[in-house]
């Protein structure tokens, strides 16, 4: 395009990040972690007039100067990001944006899968997409469920604790059948394949429980990126993202699995998770889904079991508290080679996950 310069920068450094943060702030947007690549569009005076970034398969932090919006810069930025991703084997992309900014993406081939007016819309393009995931959910649905409520729980289990087990056992006792959805995003200290195996092992004694993966459609970098950032200063955006995530759960998991009640533990500590629980209270009942809140498990007076506490104890080497907080399957895993690798990652890590 005449009169502009397009720069594609992999993992932007501090100088470019500072430039992008100031530009995004002018559009009410925030810097959301380190992207894999950013596209910067500059005019012939080297002034930044548009940008967009790609993290994994999620296009984010898109903004175009209003004076240039009629020149198709959004399409140019999206095309550059998708081309970069496809060159590296990506075939499926998401966009989390404002409703009024959705049209350029739809023209490019994206389709809407969730909306929270007037704040946000989630779109996707490519395969395997939501249609293929519906088929997966359909294959997981039990056809022999007796009359009664069908429950749903979404858990990360980083790692699987006695608190998770308490929640699942209690939910299973209140349900004809319970679907336990394990967050598939591999952005936690414990990898997904280990987390889901811990959950399957720890719940194998419950005949009315089915454990399944979340795909990109529940608490993922596409649907709820704030969950993985845990930045309390971005509570407003976390609240919006949470409502998109819960809406997608209601539109996808609920009908495909026949879920009529979602179970969740109380959240006394984390404001981001607290925002998610509040979103469920608002979004689920109009969709015909009850929300059942179960108090957290305490192993001692005032000492609540949580995965973050387990990670903290692993970090400082307090194995006595860890043993009290995790079931046998997790304890045994922690002493395997893969478990020891995860513990070492926790000891070296700076963040919460």
What DSSP character marks residue 69?
G
What is the pLDDT confidence band of residue 232, given thresholds at 50, 70 and 90?
Answer: very low
Cis peptide before 128 (omega within 30 of 0): yes
According to DSSP, the β-strands at 298-300 and 209-213 are unpaired
Q: To the nearest whole percent, how much of the chain has pLDDT over 90?
A: 75
- List the single range of 83-87, 95-99, 308-312 with lowest mean pLDDT: 95-99
Write the pLDDT tens digit of every residue in 110-141: 999 999 888 889 999 999 999 999 999 999 99
What DSSP character marks residue 67?
G
Instruction: Give CA angle at 237 (236, 238), nearest 5°.
Output: 90
The distance of Cα 35 from the centroid of its chain, to the nearest Å, equals 16
Q: What distance in Å separates the CA atoms of residue 130 and residue 113, rounded to the nearest whole number?
A: 8
| Sheet-wide strand order for 177-182 | 209-213, 177-182, 150-155, 261-265, 290-294
Kind plus residue range of the DSSP H or E element containing 73:
helix 73-86
Kind plus residue range of the DSSP H or E element containing 334:
helix 328-334
Q: Identify which has the larger pLDDT, 249 or 145.
A: 249
What is the pLDDT confidence band of residue 290, given thresholds at 50, 70 and 90?
Answer: very high
Return the closest-CA partner of residue 190 out of 224, 158, 230, 212: 158
Pick the CATH number of 4-127 from 3.40.1350.10, 3.50.50.60, 3.40.630.30, 3.20.20.80: 3.40.630.30
What does pLDDT average to over the chain?
91
Long-range CB contact pairs, 104-112, < 8 A, 24+:
104/72, 104/74, 104/75, 104/78, 105/74, 105/78, 107/75, 108/75, 108/78, 108/79, 108/82
According to DSSP, the β-strands at 150-155 and 261-265 are parallel
For position 115, what pLDDT does the model report?
92
- Residues ≥6 apart with Cβ < 8 Å to 19: 40, 48
Q: What distance in Å separates the CA atoms of residue 100 and residue 313, rounded to the nearest whole number?
A: 46
Q: What distance in Å separates the CA atoms of residue 291 and residue 283, rounded to the nearest whole number?
A: 10
Q: What distance in Å separates the CA atoms of residue 186 and residue 209, rounded to the nearest whole number?
A: 23
What is the pLDDT confidence band of residue 351, given thresholds at 50, 70 and 90?
Answer: low
For position 230, what pLDDT does the model report?
47
- Identify whether the C-beta of residue 158 lies closer than 8 Å to the C-beta of residue 311: yes
Pick the CATH number of 131-348 from 3.40.50.1370, 3.40.50.620, 3.90.76.10, 3.30.70.260: 3.40.50.620
Write the pLDDT tens digit of every residue in 207-221: 999 999 999 999 888
Write the pLDDT tens digit of every residue in 25-77: 998 888 888 899 999 999 999 999 999 999 999 999 999 999 998 888 999 99
Whether residue 96 is predicted with pLDDT greater than 80 in this model: the reply is yes
- List the single range of 3-12, 261-270, 302-311 with lowest mean pLDDT: 261-270
Question: Quick check: helix, strand or coil at residue 257?
Answer: helix
The distance of Cα 338 from the centroid of its chain, to the nearest Å, equals 24
- List the single range of 173-187, 191-205, 291-305 with lowest mean pLDDT: 291-305
Q: Identify which has the larger pLDDT, 14 or 146.
A: 14
Spell out where 183-289 has E strands.
Answer: 209-213, 261-265
Residue in the block written with tokens 């910067």: 40
For position 110, what pLDDT does the model report?
96
Whether residue 226 is predicted with pLDDT greater than 80 in this model: the reply is no
Whether residue 349 is predicted with pLDDT greater than 90 in this model: the reply is no
- Residues ≥6 apart with Cβ < 8 Å to 287: 250, 251, 254
Longest dimension (CA), the chain: 69
Q: Identify which has the larger pLDDT, 1 or 289.
A: 289
Sign of the CA dihedral with 334 first, then 339, 345, and 351 last: negative
Q: What distance in Å separates the CA atoms of residue 65 and residue 51, rounded to the nearest whole number?
A: 9
What is the pLDDT confidence band of residue 227, given thresholds at 50, 70 and 90?
Answer: low
Q: To the nearest whole percent, how much of the chain has pLDDT over 70?
A: 95
For position 234, what pLDDT does the model report?
63
**What are the domain boundaries of the chain?**
4-127, 131-348
- Identify whether the C-beta of residue 97 lies closer than 8 Å to the C-beta of residue 105: yes
Question: Quick check: helix, strand or coil at residue 295?
Answer: coil
Whether residue 324 is predicted with pLDDT greater than 50 in this model: the reply is yes
């Amino acid at each position: 395009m005449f009169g502009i310069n397009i720069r594609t920068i992999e993992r932007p450094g501090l100088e470019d990040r500072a430039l992008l943060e100031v530009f995004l702030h002018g559009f009410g947007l925030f810097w959301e972690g380190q992207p894999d690549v950013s596209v910067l569009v500059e005019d012939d005076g080297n002034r930044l007039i548009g940008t967009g970034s790609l993290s994994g398969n999620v296009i984010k932090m898109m903004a175009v100067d209003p004076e240039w919006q009629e020149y198709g810069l959004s399409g140019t930025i999206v095309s550059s990001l998708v081309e970069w991703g496809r060159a590296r084997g990506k075939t499926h992309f998401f966009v989390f944006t404002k409703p009024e900014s959705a049209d350029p993406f739809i023209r490019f081939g994206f389709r809407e899968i969730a909306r929270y007016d007037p704040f946000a819309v989630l779109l996707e393009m490519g395969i395997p997409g939501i249609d293929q995931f519906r088929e997966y959910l359909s294959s997981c649905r039990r056809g022999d469920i007796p009359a009664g409520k069908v429950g749903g729980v979404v858990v990360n289990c980083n790692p699987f604790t006695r608190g998770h087990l308490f929640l699942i056992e209690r939910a299973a006792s209140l349900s004809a059948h319970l679907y336990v959805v394990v967050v598939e995003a591999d952005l936690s200290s414990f990898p997904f394949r280990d987390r889901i195996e811990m959950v399957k092992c720890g719940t194998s004694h419950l005949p009315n429980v089915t454990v399944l993966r979340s795909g990109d459609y529940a608490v993922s970098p596409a649907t709820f990126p704030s969950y993985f950032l845990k930045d309390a200063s971005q509570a407003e955006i976390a609240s919006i993202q949470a409502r998109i995530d819960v809406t997608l759960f209601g539109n996808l998991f609920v009908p495909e699995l026949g879920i009529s009640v979602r179970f969740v533990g109380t959240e006394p500590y984390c404001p981001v998770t607290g925002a998610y629980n509040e979103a469920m209270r608002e979004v689920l009942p109009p969709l015909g889904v009850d929300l059942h809140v179960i108090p957290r498990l305490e192993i001692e007076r005032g000492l609540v079991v949580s995965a973050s506490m387990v990670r903290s104890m692993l970090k400082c080497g307090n194995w006595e508290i860890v043993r009290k907080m995790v079931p046998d399957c997790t304890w045994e895993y922690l002493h395997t080679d893969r478990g020891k690798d995860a513990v070492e990652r926790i000891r070296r890590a700076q963040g919460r996950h």
